[in-house]
Amino acid sequence: MSEDRTVERKNIRAAMNRLLSGTPLRSDGALTVVSLADEAEVKRHVLTHRHTDLKDEFYARVRAQGQVPDSERKLRQELAETKERLAEILEENNQLKAEVKVFVRIINVLETENDQLKVDNSRTDTVIPISGPR
């Protein structure tokens, strides 16, 4: 292993320890790969492509501490909000379906009455004028 990679790994491990102990120097302190890269002063792709073992170790240590990474916490919150909104939309959808059924019944009754009126009016052969007051 080259000396540059050895120095990178040393910096990443030191950054990992600072983040996990809650004493970040160069990042926001979030338990994410982005913060780990900022803390170690390396580009994110260095962790995700070159030192994947350290990235995996970092997440394993985060889970071992019983802490949930901020990114996962945000995703869980977003999922909960989405599920809540979905439940509201489904309830509204069910209400609208019930209203549509009522409107279908009303339209059927009105069509039947309209057809009946047409039949009744077609039987009248004579128009009787209504005379008003003179």
**Complete DSSP assignment for 27-74:** S---SSHHHHHHHHTS-HHIIIII-HHHHHHHHHHHHHTTPPPHHHHH
Structural domain that includes position 29: 3-64
Would you place residue 133 in the very low, low, confident or very high pLDDT band (cuts 50, 70, 90)? Answer: confident
Q: Residue 130 carries which DSSP code? A: P
Q: Do 34 and 87 have their domain in common?
A: no
What proportion of the chain, given as a percentage, has pLDDT over 90? 50
Cβ neighbours around 75 below 10 Å, total = 12
Tell me how far apart the alpha carbons of residues 132 and 96 are, in angstroms, rounded to a whole number: 49
Number of domains present in the structure of the chain? 2
Q: Do 60 and 7 have their domain in common?
A: yes
Residues 6+ apart with CB under 8 A from 22: 29
With a threshold of 0.85, does the pTM exceed it? Answer: no
Q: Do 8 and 60 have their domain in common?
A: yes
The arithmetic mean of pLDDT across residues 18-39, rounded, is 89
Q: Is residue 132 part of a domain?
A: no
- Assess whether pLDDT exceeds 70 at residue 125: no
Listed range (35-44, 50-59, 116-125) with the worst mean pLDDT: 116-125
Given a contact cutoff of 8 angstroms between Cβ atoms, the answer to whether 40 and 12 are in contact is yes
Q: Is residue 112 part of a domain?
A: yes
- pLDDT tens for each residue of 61-105: 888 887 676 667 788 899 999 999 999 999 999 999 999 999 999
Q: Do 23 and 55 have their domain in common?
A: yes
Given a contact cutoff of 8 angstroms between Cβ atoms, the answer to whether 47 and 55 are in contact is yes
Q: What are the tokens at 44?
A: 């994110």
Q: Is residue 128 part of a domain?
A: no
